[in-house]
Amino acid sequence: MRLAPEPAQVAPGLGRTPAGPRWARLALAAGLASPFLVALLALGLGYYPIPVVDVARSLLSAAVPAAADGVPEVARLLVLEVRLPRVLAALLIGAALAVTGVVFQGIFTNPLVDSNLLGVTSGAGFGAALALLLGGGTVWVQAAAFGFGLLAVTLAFLGSRLYRTAPMIVLTLMGILVGSLFGSLTSLLKYVADPLDALPAITFWLLGGLTGVGWGDVPALLTLTGVGAAFFFLVRWRLNVLSLGDAEATALGMRPLHMKFGLIVVATLMTAIAVSVGGVIGWVGLVVPHAARIVVGPDHRRLVPMSLALGATFLLLIDTVSRTLLPSEVPLGVLTGLIGVPILVVLLRRNRTGW
């Protein structure tokens, strides 16, 4: 004799996925389209407004030169040479920070972390500050930021090898320690920096921003973000299994530590390149994953593409606001916090039960 299953005691709609499958698919489609639509609008906005049609024709002219006939040359140049690289950078950095946030939250089974957990951003900040203090050019600053970002995570990894019993917990602890260490070192650099020259440069860089981003920044950003995003997209269902925790993943025939190591390496490379181009931009990796979960649920099969798209859209919107609406550019890291924190508070309030 078997006891009959209990009847579902939850009212329809409650306790179900925030969206039924069809609704979720629609929301996913809308989310995936959003970066392209917002980009089209953002390319037209600025001190010199350009109609959407001209933006589209300018973009087309890259492939078909005749498409730009009748579009003012200055508009075409603004779109293709000035605004497009910045818009692309915003899209790529936003996507990278958001999707790495999703991945870190999944593999650390903690919805309140982002890819800076292991100290990559703190390391990168120190590297950039060091290069700025030594008077290095943009290339040096980016290289140093990228390099020290990777160094910080490597140190956290090496530190975690000292204790083998609970690898993920020790790794988290080491990441926090390494992050604090580089934070202190950055403060030290700021303390000794020339207050008229190097200090403002360091402060400005640490607050994040895309001013002065050009085509030269795009290839590395595009390559690493593209490869990383593709990798995460391919393993997106495995992230579901990993997010149950090591014991469960092992029981299901996975080797969670191997897989997590690979995911952390890829996420760290993505975050490091994003930070080296855009500076320290917080909150994207926290706010966007939560927003994406509310729309499509916790299943990484939908969450990974959705967070890529929403992250891109979110950062582009904020960068466009910073670039066009405000009298002088407000640093991105400040705006993401000012806008992101209230959004996160609302999301957490609405999303009381499940993450």
Partner 1 sequence: MARLTASGIEFAYVAGKPVVQDVSVAVDAGEVVFLLGHNGSGKSSLLGCLAGVHRPSSGQVLLDGEDVHAMSAPARARRLGMIPQLHVAAFAYDVLEVVLMGRAPHLGTFEAPGPEDEAIALDALALVGLTDFRNRRYTELSGGERQLVMVARGLAQRCDVLLMDEPDAHLDPRNQFRVLEVVSDLARQRGLAVVIASHAPNSALMFADRVLLLRHGRTLAMGGVNQTLDEERLTAAYGMPTEVVTKVVAGRRVPRAILPRRIDRVADEVDTIAVHRADVERPGTLLDRVFAAGARRPQRLIVTGARGTGKSLWCAAVAETARARGLRVAGVSSPAVIEGGRKTAIDLVDLGTGQRRRLAEVRRADEPGTATQRWRFAENALAWGNEVLRAAAEAPGVDLLLVDELGPLEFVRGEGFTEGLAAVDARHYAVALAVVRPALVDEALRRWPDAVVVDVED
Interface residues toward partner 1, by CB under 8 A: 1-8, 10, 15-17, 106, 109-111, 234-238, 240-241, 243-245, 247-248, 250-255, 259, 293, 297-299, 301, 353-355
Question: Min. distance of Cβ 36 from partner 1 in angstroms?
Answer: 25
Question: Min. distance of Cβ 262 from partner 1 in angstroms?
Answer: 10
What's the rounded Cα separation, in Å, for the pair 329 and 256?
Answer: 44
What's the rounded Cα separation, in Å, for the pair 241 and 233?
Answer: 14
The DSSP line for 226-267 is HHHHHHHHHTHHHHHHHTT-HHHHHHTT--HHHHHHHHHHHH
Q: Enter the DSSP assignment of 354.
A: -
Which of 190, 301 has the CB closer to partner 1? 301
Which of 54, 114 has the CB closer to partner 1? 114
What's the rounded Cα separation, in Å, for the pair 150 and 224?
Answer: 14
Question: Min. distance of Cβ 297 from partner 1 in angstroms?
Answer: 7
Question: Min. distance of Cβ 58 from partner 1 in angstroms?
Answer: 38
- By the 10 Å C-beta count (0-12 exposed, 13-18 middle, 19+ buried), 293 is classed as buried
Which of 88, 310 has the CB closer to partner 1? 310
Which of 12, 212 has the CB closer to partner 1? 12
Evaluate whether 139 touches 212 at the Cβ level (below 8 Å): no
Which of 106, 125 has the CB closer to partner 1? 106
What's the rounded Cα separation, in Å, for the pair 297 and 99?
Answer: 15
Question: Min. distance of Cβ 333 from partner 1 in angstroms?
Answer: 27
Which of 328, 353 has the CB closer to partner 1? 353
What's the rounded Cα separation, in Å, for the pair 130 and 185?
Answer: 10
Question: Min. distance of Cβ 291 from partner 1 in angstroms?
Answer: 15
Q: Enter the DSSP assignment of 66.
A: G
